[in-house]
Amino acid sequence: MDNFLAYPLQDLPYVIVTLLIAFTIHELAHAWVALLFGDDTAKNEGRITLNPLKHIDPIGFIFVIIAGFGWAKPTPVNAYKMKHRRVGSVLVSLAGPVSNLLLAFIGVGLYFLFLQMDVAYSQIILPFFNLFVSLNVILFIFNLLPLPPLDGYQIVSEFLPLKWRLKVQGYENYALLFFLILVITPLSKYTISPIFNTLIPWITGEMASFYYFVFQI
């Protein structure tokens, strides 16, 4: 069975719980920041909620478990409703990945806390937070890649001159195919994987150093 899954079978409960939290907070962050800038589109569709059912795309969820990458329901955003449209668009796009980074930061803190407390069931709690942190850092990095349909692409496109932006939009469908090739083919070993292999240990290491210092005080 493990051969058909991106994660070991024993880790699936941790993965499922983590994804429910991470996807929900990610999309909620998009919706909430959009509302702060005057766009109530997501609010009107009931997306400012902690209910995972409003944010989870079943197919995208299953893809994460099987293929190691997937997606939630995109948060509807109408940039033309926003005050300060360009700034608003950038911050709305950043909100999702940043929320995953914050979740990872909280997860590292809880890991250290439970490690210090030596609580019962630590053999369940500590592996959960270890995976929770890793997946949220992955989502943070992954979503900032400047490729459609990721948040990083939305951020970069806001800084392009209008002429270039319109030209790039004409190639978005091809860019999506290019993105899938990078993710699901052996090319990922030479393109995306080095990014993750470098940034994940560095980010989690910096977070761990912070909490190590805090708990030593």
DSSP 70-103: ---PPPP--GGGSSSHHHHHHHHHHHHHHHHHHH
Residues in the chain, pLDDT under 70: 1-4, 119-121, 166, 168-173, 176, 217
Q: Residue 2 has what pLDDT?
A: 52
Q: Residue 96 has what pLDDT?
A: 97
Catalogue the active-site residues.
Answer: 27
Q: Residue 149 has what pLDDT?
A: 81
Are 81 and 38 in contact, with CB atoms under 8 Å apart? yes
Q: Residue 122 has what pLDDT?
A: 75
Residue 62 tokens read as 């299953």
Q: Residue 42 has what pLDDT?
A: 97
Chain center to CA of 209: 22
Q: Residue 26 has what pLDDT?
A: 98
Q: Residue 199 has what pLDDT?
A: 94
